[in-house]
C-alpha cells in the first residue's frame, strides 16, 4: 500500500509541473541537479513571423541568436525549484540554458556532419556515450566535468585542434532541449534514459580523440553560420 501511495504522490508532482519547457527545466535542475537559467530566446523577424535569425537581446548582429544568457546572466544559474518555476512561469517559451562546469556536465561541440561521423566511430569502438544535444548545425556531446588544466593537457598532446571543435567547460553554457533558438529547434540526438537518475556521462579523455579526428577531416565550411554563402569562416557556437 505504501508503494501505491508513493506512486500517486509522484504522479501528482508531475501533473503540477505544467508546460513542456518548465517540465524540462525542472527535470534538469531538481532531479539531475544541473544549474539552469532562461536564455535570451529568438525574436520574430520578417513579415511572416520568421523566428529563424533574430535574437531578443539588444545586439542586432548577435551571432548566437536566442542561444545565450542575457537577463539574468550566467551566474544566476540555479537548481532551486522555486526560482526555476518563477522564471518559466513568466517566460514559458524561454530556452533552457545549462551552466557547464563545476559539478555540472561539460560538453564538446562540433558541426553536425562531423559529429555524426564521430558518434559512428565511437559506437564502432563500443564506447558508452551519454546524452548528445543537437541543433540544425551543431551537436554537443555531454561529458563529465573537467578542469581547464585537464583539458589543456589533453589538447597539448595533439598536433592540431580544429577551430570548429568547441569546449563548454567551467564558466560556459549550453542550450538544452526542447528549446527553440534563432538557429532552430534543439533536440536530443541521444536522449537521457526516461525515468533514470542523473544521466551517466563519459570522461572527456574517452571521446576527445574521435572528436578531434572527425573535426579535422570535415569540410572547412561544414560549421558555417548562417549556412548561406558569403558568411566567411564564422562558425556556429
Which range marks the domain in which residue 205 is found? 14-216
How do beta strands 180-181 and 184-185 pair? Answer: antiparallel
In-domain check, residue 227: no
* Amino acid 158: pLDDT: 82
Are 198 and 98 in contact by the 8 Å Cβ rule? The answer is no
The structure's pTM equals: 0.80
In-domain check, residue 8: no
In-domain check, residue 87: yes
Number of domains in the chain: 1
- pLDDT of 7-64, one tens digit each? 433 433 343 444 799 999 999 999 999 999 999 988 876 655 444 568 999 998 898 9
* Amino acid 228: pLDDT: 32
* Amino acid 223: pLDDT: 38
What residues does 132 pair with on adjacent strands? 141, 190
Are 117 and 88 in contact by the 8 Å Cβ rule? The answer is no
In-domain check, residue 19: yes
CA–CA separation, 214 and 165 (whole Å): 9
* Amino acid 179: pLDDT: 95
In-domain check, residue 126: yes
Query: For the chain, what is the mean pLDDT?
Result: 82
CA–CA separation, 70 and 169 (whole Å): 19
State the pLDDT confidence band at 213, using cuts at 50, 70 and 90. confident
In-domain check, residue 236: no
In-domain check, residue 39: yes
In-domain check, residue 135: yes
Amino acid at each position: 500500500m505504501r508503494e501505491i501511495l508513493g506512486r500517486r504522490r509522484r504522479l501528482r508532482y508531475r501533473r503540477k509541473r505544467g508546460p513542456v519547457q518548465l517540465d524540462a527545466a525542472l527535470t534538469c535542475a531538481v532531479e539531475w541537479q544541473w544549474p539552469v537559467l532562461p536564455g535570451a530566446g529568438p525574436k520574430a523577424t520578417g513579415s511572416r513571423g520568421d523566428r529563424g535569425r533574430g535574437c531578443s537581446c539588444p545586439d542586432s548582429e548577435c551571432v548566437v541568436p536566442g542561444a545565450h544568457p542575457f537577463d539574468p546572466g550566467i551566474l544566476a544559474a540555479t537548481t532551486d525549484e522555486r526560482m526555476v518555476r518563477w522564471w518559466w512561469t513568466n517566460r514559458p517559451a524561454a530556452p533552457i540554458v545549462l551552466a557547464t562546469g563545476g559539478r555540472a556536465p561539460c560538453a564538446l561541440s562540433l558541426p553536425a556532419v562531423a559529429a555524426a561521423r564521430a558518434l559512428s566511430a565511437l559506437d564502432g569502438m563500443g564506447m558508452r556515450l551519454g546524452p548528445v544535444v543537437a541543433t540544425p548545425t551543431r551537436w554537443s556531446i555531454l561529458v563529465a566535468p573537467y578542469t581547464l588544466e585537464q583539458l589543456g593537457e589533453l589538447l597539448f598532446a595533439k598536433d592540431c585542434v580544429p577551430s570548429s571543435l568547441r569546449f563548454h567547460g567551467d564558466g560556459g553554457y549550453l542550450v538544452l532541449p526542447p528549446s527553440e533558438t534563432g538557429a532552430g529547434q534543439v533536440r536530443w540526438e541521444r536522449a537521457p534514459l526516461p525515468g533514470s537518475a542523473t544521466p551517466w556521462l563519459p570522461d572527456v579523455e574517452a571521446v576527445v580523440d574521435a572528436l578531434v579526428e572527425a573535426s579535422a577531416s570535415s569540410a572547412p565550411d561544414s560549421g558555417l553560420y548562417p549556412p548561406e554563402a558569403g558568411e566567411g569562416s564564422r562558425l556556429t557556437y
